[in-house]
Structure 1
Amino acid sequence: MASVASNWVSPPTRTPLIENLVSGVDRYNPSNVGILEDYLYHQTRSQEYDCLANLAILKLYQFNPDLYNPDVVINILIKALTSAPFPDFNLCISLLDDRAANTNPDEPDPLPSLLPTLTMLYNLLQQCRFPAFWALYRSDEVESLRDNYTVECAGFEDAVRDVVIRAVKAAFTRIGRERLGTYLDLTGSDLDIHVAKLGWSIDSSTGVVTVPPNPDNRIESTVVQENIQLPQLTKVITHASQTA
């Protein structure tokens, strides 16, 4: 867990320039927003992720409304979406202003219409309702998000599957192949290949997938032993007799 927190604070892929912008006083310099936006687009192309750098963009937008770029905000939310079960998405939402009333009819802001959908998708991931997530994501209702945004985010669907795998590893030692397929939105050989990459095994006769032991899915009894010294016991008995 410590390594996860360390990578969240300072991802190994973060360059010294971005580290200086995120950690130093230049974090609030509006002239640096272009550098941070370029870094975000690098993240979408390379499957990297840096939450603190993206939060810095949203904070600059908050302080400097004239810098606001809805496409950037949507891409930030898409990247944060696949950080579940971590709260990155909600951290981003907390830095957004209410812009629905400020929509320019000549250049409509896509964020107000997409934000409810993004929030619903995030909630489904948080609740581990994975088949419902995929059903909504594949629906006509989300066509605009898919065609204009997630298609540009390299590895988005696999990043969602990583969220699923983290949940499955924490909750199961064995799971049915078909059930796992609905969680991952994969069937047939695609599912078998994905399971093989994880190092999991499938029993061909029963269709049961075995999830290797890990600290989260081990069922172990815990024995708690308390040692009470005689002087401590004497104090307890004495106090009880005095208050009786």
Structure 2
Amino acid sequence: MAAQWIKPSTRPDPIEDLVSGVDRYNPSNVSILEDYLYHQIRSEEYDLLANLAILKLYQFNPDLHNPDVVINILLKALAASPLPDFNLCISILDERTTPSSLDEPDPLPTTLPLLKVLQNLLYRCRFPAFWQTYNSEEFETLRDNYTVEVAGFENSIRQVAIRAVKATFTHITSQRLGSYLNLEGDALTAYVKQLAWAVDSATGNIVVPPNPDNQIEATVVQEQIKLPQLTKVISHAVKA
């Protein structure tokens, strides 16, 4: 997991050379990294370190700041929950200086609070509330202008929910799982089939495959403490 986080298998060699060396802070390379970000958006790939390099370049060079790029970076980081990717990006943004040379109003001040709301709901595993909020009228601009351009965005959010379900449940009702995934009927059935999860014929509940997180195993811890060791502890306690 850590290796994939540091160097995704999909990262091209030229990008690897760029983000691993001092050239990551060269302003002339920002367009290369931005093009790579849009490749991630189109291909459902994700490279946090390359995206953080863009934000650092914006921090050091405010005149390069592109709010649309920032929003797309945050959307990609959102789907990495519960990893700290989103907060890492925010920590850099909090120190940035908003340039006054933008041709159009900066959409980030109005969009960033919306993204923080979504991230908070995901982090707390409040998936039904996430979908209700995301599909609300207040978030229509975010959907129409940004997430519609991110290939597989909603499915990437469903993967966040699936990771939580796999770590928590051994069985789950179709209704509950559907509320977590914002799916119902044939769409939910097809998604469960894609996961290769079975359905309990007796209860109709969906069976979550066993994994180290959802299996309870008793662990016996045996302490090897000898009498001379206890004697030393007691003698020190008496002296104190």
TM, length-normalised to structure 1 = 0.92
Partners of 1:54 and 1:123 lie apart in 2 by 21
Q: Distance in 2 between matches of 1:229 and 1:59?
A: 56
Matched residue, 2:88: 91
CA 113–158 in structure 1, closer or farther in 2 if over 3 Å, else same: same
**Unmatched runs of 5 consecutive residues or more in structure 1:** none
Aligned with 1:196 (options 193, 196, 213): 193
Match among 35, 45, 48 for residue 48 of structure 1: 45
* 1:8 and 1:50 in contact (8 A); partners too: yes
1:224-239 to 2 correspondence within 5 Å?
Answer: 224-239=221-236
C-alpha contact (below 8 Å) 1:28/1:60 kept by paired residues: yes
Identify the match of residue 59 of structure 1 among 50, 56, 66.
56
1:136 aligns to 2:133 (yes or no):
yes
- 1:84/1:163 contact within 8 Å kept: yes
Unaligned segments of structure 2, at least 5 residues: none
User: Residues 48-105 of structure 1, C-alpha deviation per residue, up to 9 Å, x if partnerless?
Assistant: 0000000000000000000000110000000000000001001001111477976779
2:19 maps to 1:19: no
The alpha carbon displacement at 1:42 in A equals: 0.2
Is the deviation greater in 8-17 or in 199-208? 199-208
- Pairwise mapping of residues 76-225 of structure 1 onto structure 2 (< 5 A)? 76-97=73-94, 107-225=104-222
Aligned-partner Cα distance in 2 for 1:105–1:65:
11
Quick one: which amino acid aligns to residue 8 of structure 1? W
CA shift for structure 1 position 159: 0.1
Asked if 1:243 is matched to 2:235, the reply is no
Q: How many equivalent pairs are there?
A: 240
How far the C-alpha of 1:108 sits from its partner, in A, is 1.1
Deviation at 1:232, TM superposition (A): 2.3
Q: What's the % identity of the aligned pairs?
A: 68
1:37 and 2:34 are equivalent in the alignment: yes
SS of 2:93's equivalent in the other structure is coil
Take 1:229 and 1:99, find their aligned partners in 2: how far apart are those partners? 59
Q: Is the 8 A contact 1:62 1:97 kept in 2?
A: no
Runs of 4+ off more than 2 Å: 97-106, 203-207, 229-240
What is the RMSD of the two structures over their aligned residues, measured on CA atoms? Answer: 1.9
TM-score normalized by the length of structure 2 = 0.94
Residues 24-50 of structure 1: per-residue CA shift (max 9 Å, x gap):
010110000000000000000000000
